[in-house]
């Protein structure tokens, strides 16, 4: 079974802090994704990566950056957290192409005060 | 641009059938997906259908695809309280010069009343 894990289930940070969200998959998947989920807005793609050190902007990349130094790990970075980044963050991975089945982690609920 | 539409809420009684509908825009989608999200959890793949199929059945789940109308539906037979969740429809898209992606609907919240 594919397993996608996220470093934290819940996180509380203060405005202006630098925040790291980590995601790890154990199935040698090429692609990894970061989404945020907000009520009434569904899932919105922040960034995705199709290979180590490669990244592509999604629909809402502003205020975020990503890092993929190893194939199994994809990090989402909030350089200076703001209250409007309070959200549920979901990581996903897919095997070969971004169109294939995406497998999701359990999510990280981030609260920025 | 690409868009996936689904109604936001559905309420049914336990034991009834639930039908969740979805419309999509990209006629070249290869795969169409249904995901389930239970409260406080990530998305779990429920089922998917290839675009060259009209129907797929998996135990209590039936997926119907109408390519002409770009309409996808998920039917859950004998709905149980454990089926209460948010259901997301997603289409695969392929864009020239890009890796392609999945486009998700906003999700349909299914409430099952005992």
pLDDT tens by residue, A59-70: 999 999 999 999
- Chain B positions touching A104 (Cβ under 8 A) are 35, 42-44
Is B45:B35 a contact under the CB 8 Å cutoff?
yes
CA–CA gap between residue A47 and residue A102 (Å, rounded): 14
Q: Which residues of B touch A48 (CB under 8 A)?
A: 99, 101
**Cα B10 to chain centroid, rounded:** 13
Q: What percent of chain B has pLDDT over 90?
A: 75
Residues A50, B105: C-beta atoms closer than 8 Å: no
**Distance from B17 to chain A by nearest Cα, in Å?**
25
Check pLDDT > 90 for residue B30. no
Query: Is the CB of B44 less than 8 angstroms away from the CB of A104?
Result: yes
The more confidently predicted of residues B64 and B40 is B64
Q: Tens digit of pLDDT for each residue in A17-29?
A: 999 999 999 999 9
Q: Report the alpha-carbon distance of residue B86 to residue A1 in Å, rounded.
A: 23
**Are residues B107 and A101, on separate chains, in Cβ contact within 8 Å?**
no
All residues at 6 or more sequence positions from B107 whose CB lies less than 8 Å from its CB, including other chains: A42, B6, B8, B37, B86, B87, B88
The answer to whether B47 faces chain A, any CB pair under 8 Å, is no
Q: How confident is the model at residue B95 (pLDDT cuts 50, 70, 90)?
A: low
pLDDT tens digits, residue range A54-112? 999 999 999 999 999 999 999 999 999 999 999 999 999 998 776 688 999 999 999 99
Closest-CA residue of B relative to A10 is B40
Output the six-digit token pair for A40.
């009434």
A interface residues, B as partner, C-beta within 8 Å: 4, 31, 40-43, 45, 48, 50, 56, 90, 92, 97-107, 109
B52 touches chain A (CB under 8 A): no
CA distance B71 to B105: 13
The answer to whether residue B1 scores a pLDDT higher than 60 is no
pLDDT for A47 equals 96
| pLDDT band at A4; cut points 50, 70, 90 | very high
Residue B63, SS3 per DSSP: strand
Task: Give me the pLDDT at residue B94, please.
Answer: 72
């Amino acid at each position: 079974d594919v397993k996608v894990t996220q470093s934290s289930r819940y996180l509380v940070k203060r405005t202006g802090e630098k925040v790291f969200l980590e995601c790890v998959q154990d199935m040698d998947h090429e692609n990894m994704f970061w989404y945020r989920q907000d009520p009434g807005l569904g899932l919105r793609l922040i960034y995705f990566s199709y290979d180590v050190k490669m990244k592509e902007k999604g629909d809402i990349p502003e205020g975020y950056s990503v890092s993929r130094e190893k194939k199994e790990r994809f990090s989402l970075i909030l350089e200076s957290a703001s209250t409007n980044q309070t959200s549920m963050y979901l990581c996903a991975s897919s095997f070969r192409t971004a169109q294939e089945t995406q497998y999701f982690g359990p999510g990280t609920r981030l609260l920025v005060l | 641009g690409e868009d996936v539409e689904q109604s936001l809420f559905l309420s049914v009684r336990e034991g009834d059938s639930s039908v969740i509908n979805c419309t999509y825009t990209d006629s070249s989608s290869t795969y169409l997906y249904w995901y389930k999200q239970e409260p406080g959890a990530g998305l779990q793949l429920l089922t998917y259908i290839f675009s060259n199929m009209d129907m797929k059945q998996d135990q209590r789940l039936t997926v119907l695809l109408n390519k002409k109308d770009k309409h996808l539906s998920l039917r859950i037979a004998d709905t149980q309280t454990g089926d209460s969740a948010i259901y997301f429809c997603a289409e695969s898209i392929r864009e020239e010069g890009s890796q392609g992606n999945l486009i998700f609907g906003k999700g349909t919240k299914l409430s099952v009343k005992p």
